[in-house]
Every structure is written in structure tokens, then in C-alpha cells.
């Protein structure tokens, strides 16, 4: 119950009406929401044109988790007093909270979009609803609309992105928006990145890629002047893209993990628009994997692998291992593994939590693709992400391509190691049913790990899967 302002002018009312105004504060402060509901249901029957009574009832409904009724009462209050700034402020806060409930708690992000829009119409000069609308569109992977909403929020209040929570939301959107399917959206997020995150080397390098791809030399040179320390790297990237990646001018380049990651992304631009099979068979994919692998190795140098339980149990096979050319490379996914049954269709196979933790995010509504379907690079996957605290540090375990509707948990729910969390499906960019599994650190970078109680098919102890081999996990 945050963000409620509850200001109204002091007026003289009839005794009964005055008593209703006097009761709300003590009830609200005592969190006696059921009594608020009872009293203000009566109040609106007696005074159906009194806007504040609908606000008070909305608060009561919200406190008793009757969110739909809360939103309905808030809207009624606004209909009765559309010009009252205090009513507007309170209704706006209630509607933003309702939209947040729909998105973050119920994972109904399309409905959340609708209510963030309604809130923004109630108070179009405030950034909050637009910012949260941008975040909702990000979750839905509608990145063009996400950019518009975040851009509107930024224009209304440029300083809000200095606050941690808002900055993290926008950073996540920029990271994802710079990978959007269409070049125009990537270019838009590139502009936003330079405005908001000029000190973030990773973001700025990623933001340069759509500019390089556009071929707009004037803008490219303008941006390069703003990051003079990166100019030699960027100038080389310009030449590589100009000759369509036919020559590797980075071959003897020495840099850090962000430099190598950027180089891998530059090479991928030369095959980005090809169909999946052509990407996998193109000679440039070897350069993509090579430089992304350098980045991951540089980042994880000296790390001690985390020990986890296998997310699949029984006799399983590894279809593709760490560093595989089908998107098992780079800082975000280098140590990823595709797992499933060896001789049978894996669809519906139970997936178990590799570590104890909390549900961080879920996608559960994407369709499973028919068996034998060609790989669709635009398909969205169902997934579960669990958040873990190990030695005071945050980690994530990630489970992709899960079966539609198989996730029975909610965000924020505690999970024990070994609990069933989902089932293998065929959603997203996949050639067949399997689990795509990996761990990430607090930076959301892929990190190495080891599997407890794992052996090869002949009983030899093993610590990690290798592509093409059969294992027994207990």
C-alpha cells in the first residue's frame, strides 16, 4: 500500500457524511481493510456522488486483495471528479498499483498494458505509468512500443532514471531492445543508450552495432567522437562490416571480455538476416563462436564452478554442450546445455530445480511448436528463472523451452532443490523438445557449474555433460 496521497479540501458536510470522512484515516492506518470495505460500501449507497468515498472503498478493496473491484471504484471516483487534482493523484496511484499487480503477481502483462495506459490517460504529465508501460511492453517483447513508452517517460522526467529501480528497468529494456528483430527499433534504443548510459562500456558497444549496420557514416563518426578510447575498436568494426566479414581484422586484437563480446556481435551482424540453417552452415558462425568464447573465458577466468543438482533425472542425453554454435556462446549463454531423453520424445519430461531459491520470472503461455517444425528465429520460449543466494551473492538458474502451462508456480514463490518446476516443451527457437539450461551470476552472465550425483551410462562419475553422450542423473 504505497504511493497513496489522500488529500482533499476541508468542507462542511452533513453529520453522517462528515463521519465517513473522519473514519477512513484511522481504519487505513490500522490496516482494517475489511471494515473499510463494509463502511464505504454503505457510504456510496448513501452518497453515490461522493467521489472520495469511492477512493476509500478502492483502498479497502486493494487491502483485501480484491484488485479488480479496487480498480473499478477508482475509475468511478475519477468519473465523478475528473478535474479534482487530489482525486486524480490518488486514482492514478491506485491504477498504477493495479496494473503492477496484474503484471508482476498474475503475469497478465497484456492486461497490465491496458491499465498502465488508463493510468497514463488519467495523469498524462507524469512519467511513472509510461515507464511501467515500457517495462510491460519489454516483458511482452514488443520493443518498438517499449521504446515509445520509455522515451515518453524520459522526456517527462529525465532525472527519474537516476533512481535504482527505474534505472534497472530501463537498462534491461535497452539490453533487450538492442537485440530487437528490426533495425529501426535497435537504432532507437541505441540513441536512448547514449543518452542514459554513456558511462556503460558494454551498453555503448552494443549501441554502436545498429549504427554500424545502418551505414550512416555521419552519425557513426559523431558517436565515435564521444567514446575516443573505443575508436580503434570501432573503426576496425566499420571495416569488417564494410567487407561483409570476409576478412578478420581483429585476429591479433588484445582486449577485455567486453571487447571480445562486441567483436563476436559484429561478426554475427553479417549473418543475422539469414535463415537458421544458413546461419549454422555459414563460415562466419565460427568467428562468432570464437570471439564470444574468448569473452566468456576471459570473464570467468579463475571462477570456481557452482555445484548444482541435475534439472533432469534418470537416463538423459546432452544434445548440445557449452560453446555450441546454436546460441550456446557469449557472455549470456556460453555455459548452456541442451538436455533431454536419449531414445524417446522428451516432451512432457519433468524439470526439477537445480538449486533452492525463489521464482524470479516466468513465461508460461507461448505455444509449443509442432514436431518437425523448422526453426523459427522469431519464436518466443516459455521459461522459468529461479534466483538464488549463495554465500551472499545472487545467482540465477535458467530453464528454457518449457511446456506451455506446465509452470504451476508464481513469481516470488520459494522453491527447494529438487522440486518439480515445469516440463520439457517445444516452445521458442528449437528444433525439437529439450531443456536449455544454464546458470548466470548477478550480471546475468553465464557461469560454469558442476552437477552432483552424475555419471556416464557405464557408471563412471562425471561433473558436467558433454555433447552427444548419455548420462544417469540421480
What's the confidence (pLDDT) of residue 215?
83
pLDDT at residue 2 is higher than 80: no
The Cβ-side half-sphere exposure at 378, using a 13 Å CA radius, reads: 7
- Chain segment 237-277, per-residue pLDDT in tens: 999 999 999 999 998 899 999 999 999 999 999 999 999 99
Q: CA-CA distance, 54 to 249, in Å (whole number)? A: 67
pLDDT at residue 160 is higher than 80: yes
What's the confidence (pLDDT) of residue 3?
57
Q: Report which of residues 136 and 345 the model is more confident about.
A: 136
Alpha-helix runs per DSSP H in 101-250 = 109-122, 127-139, 143-156, 164-177, 183-196, 201-214, 217-226, 231-242
The mean pLDDT value for 183-192 works out to 96
Answer whether 323's CB lies under 8 Å from 289's CB: yes
Confidence grade of residue 7 (pLDDT, cut at 50, 70, 90): low
pLDDT at residue 14 is higher than 80: no
Task: Classify residue 373 by its DSSP letter.
Answer: P
Domains and CATH numbers, the chain: 15-160 (1.25.40.10), 200-299 (no CATH), 308-473 (2.70.70.10)
The mean pLDDT value for 202-215 works out to 92
What's the confidence (pLDDT) of residue 9?
47
The mean pLDDT value for 423-449 works out to 97
What sign has the CA pseudo-torsion 280, 284, 288, 291? positive
- Chain segment 370-394, per-residue pLDDT in tens: 988 999 998 999 999 999 999 999 9
CA–CA distances in Å: residue 47 to residues 14, 20, 320, 430: 11, 10, 67, 59
- Chain segment 457-466, per-residue pLDDT in tens: 999 999 999 9
Length of the chain as a residue count:
474
Listing DSSP states for 92-115 in one string gives HHHHHHHHHIIIIIT--HHHHHHH
Strand-pair partners of 351: 422
What's the confidence (pLDDT) of residue 290?
97
Confidence grade of residue 16 (pLDDT, cut at 50, 70, 90): confident
Averaged pLDDT score across all residues of the chain: 94
Q: CA-CA distance, 466 to 339, in Å (whole number)? A: 10
- Chain segment 132-144, per-residue pLDDT in tens: 999 999 999 999 9
The mean pLDDT value for 3-26 works out to 68
Amino acid at each position: 500500500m504505497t504511493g497513496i496521497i489522500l488529500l482533499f479540501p476541508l468542507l462542511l458536510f452533513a453529520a453522517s457524511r462528515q463521519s465517513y470522512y473522519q473514519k477512513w484515516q484511522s481504519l487505513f492506518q490500522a490496516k482494517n481493510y475489511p471494515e473499510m470495505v463494509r463502511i464505504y460500501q454503505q457510504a456510496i449507497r448513501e452518497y453515490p456522488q461522493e467521489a472520495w468515498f469511492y477512493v476509500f472503498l478502492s483502498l479497502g478493496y486493494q487491502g483485501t486483495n480484491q484488485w479488480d473491484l479496487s480498480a473499478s471504484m477508482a475509475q468511478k471516483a475519477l468519473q465523478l471528479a475528473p478535474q479534482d487534482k487530489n482525486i486524480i493523484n490518488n486514482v492514478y496511484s491506485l491504477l498504477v498499483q493495479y496494473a503492477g499487480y496484474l503484471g508482476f503477481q498474475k503475469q497478465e502483462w497484456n492486461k497490465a498494458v491496458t491499465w498502465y495506459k488508463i493510468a497514463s490517460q488519467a495523469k498524462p504529465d507524469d512519467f511513472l505509468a509510461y515507464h511501467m508501460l515500457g517495462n510491460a511492453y519489454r516483458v511482452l517483447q514488443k520493443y518498438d512500443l517499449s521504446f515509445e513508452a520509455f522515451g515518453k517517460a524520459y522526456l517527462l522526467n529525465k532525472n527519474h532514471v537516476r533512481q535504482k529501480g527505474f534505472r534497472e528497468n530501463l537498462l534491461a529494456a535497452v539490453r533487450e531492445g538492442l537485440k530487437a528483430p528490426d533495425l529501426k527499433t535497435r537504432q532507437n534504443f541505441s540513441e536512448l543508450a547514449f543518452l542514459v548510459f554513456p558511462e556503460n562500456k558494454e551498453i555503448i558497444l552494443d549501441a554502436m552495432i545498429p549504427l554500424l549496420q545502418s551505414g550512416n557514416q555521419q552519425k557513426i563518426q559523431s558517436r565515435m567522437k564521444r567514446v575516443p578510447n573505443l575508436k580503434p575498436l570501432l573503426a576496425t568494426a566499420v571495416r569488417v562490416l564494410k567487407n561483409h566479414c570476409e576478412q578478420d581484422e581483429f585476429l591479433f586484437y588484445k582486449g577485455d571480455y567486453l571487447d571480445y563480446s562486441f567483436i563476436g556481435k559484429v561478426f554475427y551482424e553479417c549473418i543475422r538476416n539469414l535463415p537458421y540453417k544458413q546461419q549454422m552452415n555459414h563460415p562466419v558462425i565460427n568467428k562468432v563462436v570464437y570471439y564470444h568464447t574468448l569473452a566468456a573465458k576471459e570473464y570467468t577466468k579463475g571462477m570456481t564452478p557452482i555445484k548444482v543438482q541435475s534439472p533432469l533425472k534418470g537416463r538423459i542425453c546432452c544434445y548440445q554442450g557449452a560453446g555450441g554454435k546454436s546460441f550456446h556462446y557469449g557472455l549470456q549463454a556460453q555455459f548452456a546445455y541442451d538436455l533431454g531423453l536419449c531414445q524417446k520424445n522428451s516432451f512432457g519430461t519433468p524439470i526439477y530445480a537445480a538449486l533452492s531459491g525463489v521464482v524470479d520470472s516466468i513465461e508460461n503461455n507461448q505455444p509449443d511448436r509442432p514436431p518437425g517444425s523448422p526453426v523459427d528465429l522469431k519464436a518466443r520460449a516459455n521459461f522459468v528463472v529461479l534466483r538464488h543466494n549463495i554465500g551472499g551473492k545472487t545467482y540465477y538458474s535458467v530453464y528454457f523451452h518449457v511446456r506451455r502451462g506446465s509452470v504451476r508456480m508464481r513469481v516470488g514463490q520459494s522453491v527447494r532443490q529438487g522440486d518439480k518446476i515445469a516440463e520439457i516443451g517445444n516452445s521458442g527457437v528449437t528444433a525439437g523438445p529439450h531443456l536449455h539450461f544454464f546458470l548466470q551470476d548477478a550480471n546475468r552472465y553465464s557461469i560454469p557449474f558442476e552437477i552432483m550425483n552424475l555419471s556416464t551410462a557405464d557408471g563412471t562419475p562425471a561433473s558436467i555433460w558433454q555433447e552427444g553422450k548419455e548420462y544417469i542423473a540421480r
